[in-house]
Amino acid sequence: MKFCFLIILSFLSYFSISSYGTAQNEAKQAVSLNQQTENIPEVLPETFDSILENKIKENETSFDWNAPDDSFRRQILEMAYREYLNWPKPPKIRENLLAPLKINHLTGKYIEFYTDMPLNDSIQEIPVIADSAVSFLCQYFQIDQNDLTDWRVEAFLMKTKEPFQKLGVLERVPNFPHGYSTGFRIFAMDHHIDYYNHFLLLHELVHAFMYRIFGSLNPRWFSEGMAEYLGLHLWNDQKLTLGIIPEQEDQIEGFGRLRLIREKVQKNDVPSLKNILNFVPADFREVETYAWSWAFVLFLDRHPDYHENLQKMNYYMIFPDANKRFVALFENRWDKLENDWKAFLLSFDYSYDFRFVQRDSSLGKPLDSFDQSQLIFKVSAAENWQNSGVRVEFGQNYRIDAIGRYQIAHPRKKISCEPNGITFEYYSGRPWGQLLAVVVPDLETGMTFDEFYQKQPLNSPFQRMNGRKTSQSNTSAKDQNFNKEKKTKSDLLFPWNEIVAFDSTTKILNPNISGTLFFKINVPVSVLSQNKGNIKVRIQKAAQSRL
């Protein structure tokens, strides 16, 4: 009975999968899928519940995917393959109608490509790009490419929908403005930008690949974030790279997600991670939802502390409570994740360098616990946010004196700079090279997901900053408890406290929240490694004498 339910669920999923839209770390052993159906055990989700629980108990937050006695990954893939074998095949394309409808047809190893657009160079290379993408995805997900010989995707890039409606391929496909995937077929509308057309097709191809391999596209923040992340690409000299961090905007023409994120951060209009986990299909009518999902997946994949957790999420998609399993991976580290995510967003930009992600989130100590000689702190021009180790208190005035010069990198030349920066060039609305300070609210280390959100006040900077309501439709009953957060505007600025910018060598700080004091030099993260030198800052209560 349960197996029949899975077949029915698979059939329904075929008509409901919608979307819009560097191979890295050490290579792991590819998993070979068992294609002999008589050898695939009938494994139901309840079995995987117990497997996962045992794994977590035995080895807490991680276990070796490739251990000889560990069949967890293989069992997930075999279950997904069983579902794939029962997918309803779409009707065959009526080849005799292609010429009358002026639809061009190109063939690749994994793709049958159809378009009503002229066959220029950008169009003719799409099958080659798609084949390269499948090879890249197999490497990225550690899947044996030889086991995809029975899988092909029909792809449609449409200038207008009318000829494809006459061809019959849009039957049971809802109206969509950008892209759509049904597993065997992917669709994209022409956006008059070659790069973005390629991106849309790759986004949908990632969906089709992940559904074929992992058997699900839920939760949506994850599947859409992965499709956005891996769809962002470079295609140079017949070589394809997926999952790039763009170096500049014109490199990814048409993809405005990063610009949108930076605008939202500056306006203090940013969702909490809890809200991102809550994203449901109805939310993906907005480009903003794709932007946050993309940024979070990119952050998890590239951050050295969280990459393995993202990899495991692929195998949790097949479970109805995948979000809860994802949260469980962090156990008592959720507060650190929230802090690291917000620190990342504050500096996220083109050519972002993950060597400079914030790693030190330890709590500062009150000034009274330091000797006077210990209150002089060096701020390196070549590092991102740096923990001073000093805790400041709400309501208390502090005097911060900064002395010294340092060398900062600039697109045109290297410049000797003082704490007030250079006024002929600005970054993030402030002078390039200016000394910045910020107060990070206390993190109670060792907090779980539930503890973290229960302890955050309604005006906390960790709450959702915008007022848009998250739709509750199409949300699993098992995940309803993820949708109880009250949306509220915060009186505090995202992501920590108000940033203090040094327009002179002395600044009076009157923090509106207690926490640890951090410093950095205001330049893009991408040029930090080119900066040189440091300055000294002295932190004291305002009534104390000058340095």
One DSSP character per residue, 483-494 reads G-PPP---SSPS
Collapse the DSSP code of 338 into the 3-class scheme (helix H, G, I; strand E, B; otherwise coil) and give the result. Answer: helix
Is 133:240 a contact under the CB 8 Å cutoff?
A: yes
Give residue-wise pLDDT tens across range 221-231. Answer: 999 999 999 99
Does the pLDDT value for residue 10 go beyond 50? no
Is 202:260 a contact under the CB 8 Å cutoff?
A: no
Give residue-wise pLDDT tens across range 505-538. Answer: 999 998 888 889 999 999 999 999 999 999 999 9
Give residue-wise pLDDT tens across range 294-344. Answer: 999 999 999 999 999 999 999 999 888 899 999 999 988 888 888 888 889
Half-sphere exposure (CA, 13 Å, Cβ side) for 244?
Answer: 19
Half-sphere exposure (CA, 13 Å, Cβ side) for 182?
Answer: 22
**At which residue do the structure tokens 């002026």 appear?**
102
**What dihedral angle (degrees, nearest 10) is formed by the CA atoms of 365, 366, 368, 370?**
30
Give residue-wise pLDDT tens across range 182-206. Answer: 889 999 999 999 999 999 999 999 9
Give residue-wise pLDDT tens across range 396-411. Answer: 999 999 999 999 988 7
Instruction: Compute the distance between CA of residue 70 and CA of residue 312 in angstroms, rounded to an integer.
Output: 14
Does the pLDDT value for residue 12 go beyond 60? no
The band of 501, judged by pLDDT with boundaries at 50, 70 and 90, is very high
Higher pLDDT pick, 350 / 4: 350
Cis bond before residue 461 (omega within 30° of 0): no
What would you report as the CA-atom Rg of the chain, rounded to the nearest whole angstrom? 26
Give residue-wise pLDDT tens across range 230-284. Answer: 999 999 989 999 999 999 998 999 999 999 999 988 887 888 898 899 998 889 9
Is 240:134 a contact under the CB 8 Å cutoff?
A: no
Cis bond before residue 219 (omega within 30° of 0): yes
| Burial (Cβ within 10 Å: 0-12, 13-18, ≥19) of residue 523 | buried
Is 175:162 a contact under the CB 8 Å cutoff?
A: no
For 344, which DSSP code?
H
Higher pLDDT pick, 13 / 233: 233
In the chain, the percentage of residues whose pLDDT exceeds 90 is 52
Instruction: Compute the distance between CA of residue 429 and CA of residue 467 in angstroms, rounded to an integer.
Output: 25
- Which residues neighbour 497 within 8 Å (Cβ) at sequence distance 6 or greater? 438, 439, 440, 441, 461, 511, 512, 513, 515
The band of 15, judged by pLDDT with boundaries at 50, 70 and 90, is very low
The band of 413, judged by pLDDT with boundaries at 50, 70 and 90, is confident
Higher pLDDT pick, 44 / 386: 386
Give residue-wise pLDDT tens across range 29-56. Answer: 455 444 443 443 444 445 555 555 555 4
Looking at residue 132, its pLDDT comes to 97
| Burial (Cβ within 10 Å: 0-12, 13-18, ≥19) of residue 434 | buried
| Burial (Cβ within 10 Å: 0-12, 13-18, ≥19) of residue 320 | middle
Tokens of 485: 């957060």
Looking at residue 481, its pLDDT comes to 40
The mean of the pLDDT values for the chain is 81
Helix (H) or strand (E) holding 246: none
Q: What is the amino acid identity at position 345?
A: L
Looking at residue 456, its pLDDT comes to 63
Instruction: Compute the distance between CA of residue 379 and CA of residue 497 in angstroms, rounded to an integer.
Output: 19
Query: For the chain, how far is it from start to end, CA to CA, in angstroms?
Result: 78
Collapse the DSSP code of 502 into the 3-class scheme (helix H, G, I; strand E, B; otherwise coil) and give the result. Answer: coil
Instruction: Compute the distance between CA of residue 313 and CA of residue 219 in angstroms, rounded to an integer.
Output: 10
**At which residue do the structure tokens 């019959």 appear?**
168
The band of 69, judged by pLDDT with boundaries at 50, 70 and 90, is very low
The band of 543, judged by pLDDT with boundaries at 50, 70 and 90, is low
Tokens of 197: 């057309």
Cα→Cα distances 287→35, 116, 294, 496, Å: 38, 26, 11, 25
The band of 1, judged by pLDDT with boundaries at 50, 70 and 90, is very low
Instruction: Compute the distance between CA of residue 329 and CA of residue 494 in angstroms, rounded to an integer.
Output: 26
Looking at residue 54, its pLDDT comes to 56
Cα→Cα distances 106→112, 117, 250, 329, 378, Å: 6, 12, 29, 44, 61
Looking at residue 24, its pLDDT comes to 37
Looking at residue 154, its pLDDT comes to 98
Instruction: Compute the distance between CA of residue 464 and CA of residue 296 in angstroms, rounded to an integer.
Output: 15
For 250, which DSSP code?
G
Give residue-wise pLDDT tens across range 88-146. Answer: 899 999 999 999 999 999 999 999 999 999 999 999 999 999 999 999 999 999 998 98
Cα→Cα distances 349→233, 239, 428, 524, Å: 17, 25, 10, 7
Looking at residue 232, its pLDDT comes to 97
